[in-house]
Amino acid sequence: MRGLSLDRGPLLPTLLLVPSAVLLGGLLAFPLVLGVLLGFKDATIGEAGNFIGLDNYRYLLTDPVLRITALNTALYTLVTVVFKLALGLALALILNQRFAGYRFWRSVLLLPYVVPTVLSAFAWWWILDPQFSFISWGLIRLGILDQHVNFLGSAWLARASLMVANVWRGIPFFTVGYLAGLQSIPKELHEAAAIDGASGWRTFWEITWLLLLPLTTILTIFSAIFTFTDFQLIWTITRGGPANATHLFVTLAYQRAIPGGALGEGAAIAGFTLPFLALLAWAALDALRRQA
């Protein structure tokens, strides 16, 4: 078989790469390019539409709803990721201890993440209901409030309520990641610190946190990507209301493109997310490369 020199030269690696290239190209790159192109057309659900250059983008930059949406998306992502990280890490530190039933609590912790989002969104919808929220009910019973909390009926409270729901759902992602990270820290380091008489805080900041830092980067970036593109929570609980106060890019894109039929404009709204997502993806890849 020496005549066939597949194992020499660049031919074999190229051939082996073809299937994945075709898969990635067909399933990811092709629809992405189509989507971007659609953003430059005035296509609607009934008509293929014409090429209109940057018209969709030009209009959207003047659209007050898009401005609110951009602000919402930025706030939603920044605020929730910070909370998810802090709370997720705290929970991981607690669950990393050996106490009675720790295995049970570790699996309980995964629940928010395992329950389908639509279901947990429905649960939150009830929790935040203007008439039947058990939180309002409890606070009234305790004499702290004399009327129901209007969780979703005013712009800022609705934004905050959705963030709480998102944080609740996203904590386990950090906790599980951090639990794995914590278990890979060599015991000797903590033992050595204990022998040297370092305080708990100092051990945490100078050993645990430092060693978790690369992991933190990755977890944060991925969490940011998921949060940035969160659809189900918003759509189930507020549909972007009241009066478009809680739209994210993805929900607004959906509302205008699918029920509204403005495919081109919807694609352009989704187009606004691309630079941010590309930046995050680049950061994720860069972080992974540095660890390799």
How far apart are alpha carbons 42 and 49 in whole angstroms? 5
Residue 132 and residue 126 in contact, taking contact as beta carbons nearer than 8 Å? yes
Between residues 214 and 242, which has the closer beta carbon with respect to another protein? 242
Between residues 91 and 265, which has the closer beta carbon with respect to another protein? 265
Considering the complex, what minimum distance in angstroms separates the CB of residue 72 from another protein? 14
The set of residues, in sequence order, having a beta carbon less than 8 Å from that of 169 and lying 6+ positions away, is: 112, 113, 117, 120, 233
Considering the complex, what minimum distance in angstroms separates the CB of residue 288 from another protein? 37
Which stretches does DSSP call E strand in the chain?
none
Q: Which residues bind another protein (CB under 8 A)?
A: 44-47, 59, 63-65, 128-132, 147-148, 150-155, 158, 238-245, 255-256, 258-262
Between residues 190 and 239, which has the closer beta carbon with respect to another protein? 239
Considering the complex, what minimum distance in angstroms separates the CB of residue 59 from another protein? 6
Considering the complex, what minimum distance in angstroms separates the CB of residue 147 from another protein? 7
- Provide the angle, in degrees to the nearest 10, between the axes of the packed helices 249-257 and 263-291: 150
Per residue in 243-262, is it b (16+ CB within 10 Å) or e — as a string?
ebbbbbbbbbbbbbbeeeeb
Between residues 58 and 103, which has the closer beta carbon with respect to another protein? 58
How far apart are alpha carbons 155 and 165 in whole angstroms? 16
- Cα distances (Å, whole numbers) of residue 267 to 57, 124, 252, 255, 279: 10, 29, 10, 11, 19
- Cα distances (Å, whole numbers) of residue 225 to 141, 181, 183, 209, 276: 40, 21, 26, 23, 9
Between residues 166 and 175, which has the closer beta carbon with respect to another protein? 166
Between residues 117 and 150, which has the closer beta carbon with respect to another protein? 150
How far apart are alpha carbons 161 and 187 in whole angstroms? 40
Enter the tokens of residue 77.
Answer: 């992502």
Considering the complex, what minimum distance in angstroms separates the CB of residue 177 from another protein? 34
Considering the complex, what minimum distance in angstroms separates the CB of residue 74 from another protein? 20
